[in-house]
Structure 1
Amino acid sequence: MTIDARNYCMQQGIINGTPLTSSDKRVVWDKLQEPEYNIPSVAYLTIYNAWQLGILRPNLTTSLADTQALLARYNGTGDYAAKYGRELIGLYNVLENYNKLSRTS
Structure 2
Amino acid sequence: MELLVGAHINVFTGEWTQKDAGIGTSIDSLYVEVNMDSAAIVWPLFNSLQAFWPGLQVLARDIDPAIRTHAAFFSVWKRYGFTPEGFNLAALSVQHGLKWYPLRPELIESTY
Higher strand share: 2
TM-score (norm 2): 0.32
Higher helix share: 1
TM-score (norm 1): 0.33
